[in-house]
Amino acid sequence: MRFPTHLLSSLAVGLAVYPRQPLRLAALVAAGTLVDLDHLLLYSLHTGDWSVVGALRYDRYRNRRIKLGDTRPRYGSLRSWLHNPILMLPTLWALAARRPPLRAVALGLSLHLLLDHLDWPQIVAESWRAGGVCRACGRTGRKLLVVRVGAPGAWHYQALCRACRERSMLAPTSQGAPH
């Protein structure tokens, strides 16, 4: 999800849950949006570039199809352990059970992770449907990556081996960007 989506969603939930508690509302909105600063930190550690503009430019091209002659590096999703719901949510909610002011932070981060992982059921379903067979070349015994293909609004997921994923990144842009 993008920053405006996280901000507006956090604000809407915060206003619904904490209409008369501005500090908790602010904590929920901050937790629901500012957790994405880890992307900037990881980008900066990979590149040495600490500018927000550089990170935004990288984010624009990292999922686009690779054009011939484009040699810019791609570092992946740049998600830290903060974006791992299995690690974060039980720990944070256990702390929030003991300290009620942390509940707003836990709710904000939970909302953020929910929005980030909305497509997880489709990814898992495609992985199971593929049954270890690459959807493009039919090879077995390779690690498969589930990628999002198609035009925005008509996306679907495909399980591809690394070689087929790289070939799909070089394909014409009419098919849309992989995820």
For residues 52 and 139, membership in a common domain is answered with: no
Segment (H or E) for 146: strand 144-149
Half-sphere exposure of 22 (CA within 13 A, CB side): 0
Would you state the pLDDT for residue 1?
66
End-to-end CA distance of the chain: 12
One domain for residues 14 and 55: yes
Which tens digit of pLDDT belongs to each residue from 87-131? 999 999 999 999 998 999 999 999 999 999 888 899 999 999 999
Specify the pTM. Answer: 0.73
Q: Which residue has the higher pLDDT, 8 or 120?
A: 8
135 contacts 178 by C-beta, under 8 angstroms: no
Structure tokens at 2: 């993008």
Domain boundary among the residues 116, 131, 165 is at 116
**8 A C-beta contact, residue 133 and residue 140:** yes
Q: Does residue 139 sit in helix, strand or coil? A: coil
| pLDDT class of 178 with cuts at 50, 70, 90 | very low
Instruction: Look up residue 150 and give its amino acid.
Output: G
The encoded tokens of residue 31 equal 């937790």
Judgement on whether residues 52 and 111 belong to the same structural domain of the protein: yes
- What distance in Å separates the CA atoms of residue 23 and residue 102, rounded to the nearest whole number? 11
Regarding whether 124 and 103 lie in a shared domain, the answer is no
Regarding whether 9 and 74 lie in a shared domain, the answer is: yes
At residue 140, the pLDDT reads 92
- Res 170: pLDDT: 67
Nearest-angstrom CA–CA distance, 159 and 126? 6
Domain ranges, residue 148: 120-175
**Domains: count for the chain:** 2
Answer with the residue of higher pLDDT: 151 or 126.
Answer: 126
42-93 pLDDT, tens digit each: 889 988 999 988 888 887 777 677 777 777 777 777 778 888 899 999 999 9
Q: In Å, how far are 16, 49, 69, 80, 152 from 35, measured between CA atoms?
A: 21, 19, 34, 10, 26
> Has residue 3 got a pLDDT over 90?
no
